[in-house]
Structures are given as C-alpha cells and as structure tokens.
Amino acid sequence: MRDLVTAAGDVDILVNNAGIWSTPEPTEQISEATLWASYWANVIAPFLLTGALAPRMARRGHGAIVNIGSITGFIGGDKSALYNSTKAAVHSLTKSWAAEYGPAGVRVNAVAPGPIATERAAESADHVAPVLARIPSRRMSTPDEVAAAVLFLASDEAANIHGAVLSVDGGWAAT
C-alpha cells in the first residue's frame, strides 16, 4: 500500500468503485472463500485505500471520497445476505469516515445505485421485469446517471455534503 500511495502522489478524489457481486444463495451454502472474497473486494479494499489516502487529503485540508454502495445496502433480500451486508458496511463506513475526516476538509459520500441498464441486466430479462414493477420510475438507471451522481459528489458543488448515501435507483428506496 505504501508503494501505491507514493506512486499516486497527492490524490484529490478517490472513488472506491471496485467490487464483486455474488449470485444469491442461502447463507449456509456460501463458502468461506466466497465470503472472504466478497468482503475483501467490497469492504476491505476501500477501507485500506481510504486509510492510506484520506489522511494525506486531510493534511492538505481538502479532498473528496465517493464510495459505491448499493440500494441493497438498505434492504434485505432473500438469499442476498452476503452482498447486501457488504454494501451496508460501505454505507456505514461512508458515514464514519465523513465524521472522521470531515473536520479536516475531506468529504466522504456514497452513491447507492439500484438496477443499472447493462448488457448483463438485458440478459436477465426474466429477473428484471418484477424488479422494474417495484421501481416508481419503471426503469433502470443508466451508467451515465450513476456516473453523474459520482461526479456531483466529487465536485465543489457538493462542498457541504458529508456522509450522504445518494440513491440512484428510480425511487426504489422510497417504496
């Protein structure tokens, strides 16, 4: 991690976007390897990156961190305990880091996308239809809509937004 921090130099914006999604399955059928891989990618990697870069931002008195959570971090789901719990952890870390680094001028927020219109989603039309019926906008978000939310939270226009988890979900969280 030290080599990464040295090579990166002064970072003004960090977007913790890497992660893995696991196929819904009963808790008792999830292997330890899958459990650790999911937590490593979705929780531990952002934790380590933020821990390495946020203090440097704080010393300079400014910076923005945007974590990518998920609408699933707010809701329960049958056979979705693993993925949902990792995203709930990201939401909680966002609020904790906002409290920790905010006084030093570092803003920490998150975007919580709902279903996104991707090729993978298009291949799962039978799964998508019932989901769309529960979304007030009756459509999935586009990748550009999610990116716009990230850009906004990273921008100076969001200068006094700290610890927010912005849902980009067509209103799903409201139902």
Exactly one of 65, 66, 68, 83 is catalytic; name it.
Answer: 83
Q: Is 83 a catalytic residue?
A: yes
On whether residue 6 sits in a domain, the answer given is: no
How far apart CA 108 and CA 57 sit, in angstroms, is 11
On whether residue 140 sits in a domain, the answer given is: yes
pLDDT band, very low/low/confident/very high, at 84 (cuts 50, 70, 90): very high
On whether residue 55 sits in a domain, the answer given is: yes
On whether residue 121 sits in a domain, the answer given is: yes
On whether residue 76 sits in a domain, the answer given is: yes
Domain range enclosing 122? 11-174
Per-residue confidence (pLDDT) for residue 131, from 0 to 100: 84
Residue 43: other Cβ atoms inside 10 A: 20
What digits encode the pLDDT tens for the residues 101-122?
999 999 999 999 999 988 877 7
Contacts of 109 (CB under 8 A, 6+ apart): 64, 65, 66, 67, 94, 98, 153, 158, 161, 162, 163, 164, 165, 166
What digits encode the pLDDT tens for the residues 128-150?
888 889 999 999 999 999 999 99
Per-residue confidence (pLDDT) for residue 167, from 0 to 100: 97
Domain count, the chain: 1
On whether residue 68 sits in a domain, the answer given is: yes
On whether residue 2 sits in a domain, the answer given is: no
pLDDT band, very low/low/confident/very high, at 50 (cuts 50, 70, 90): very high
Q: The pTM is what?
A: 0.94
State the average pLDDT for the chain.
94
On whether residue 141 sits in a domain, the answer given is: yes
Per-residue confidence (pLDDT) for residue 153, from 0 to 100: 99
pLDDT band, very low/low/confident/very high, at 43 (cuts 50, 70, 90): very high
Q: What is the average per-residue pLDDT within 153-157?
A: 98
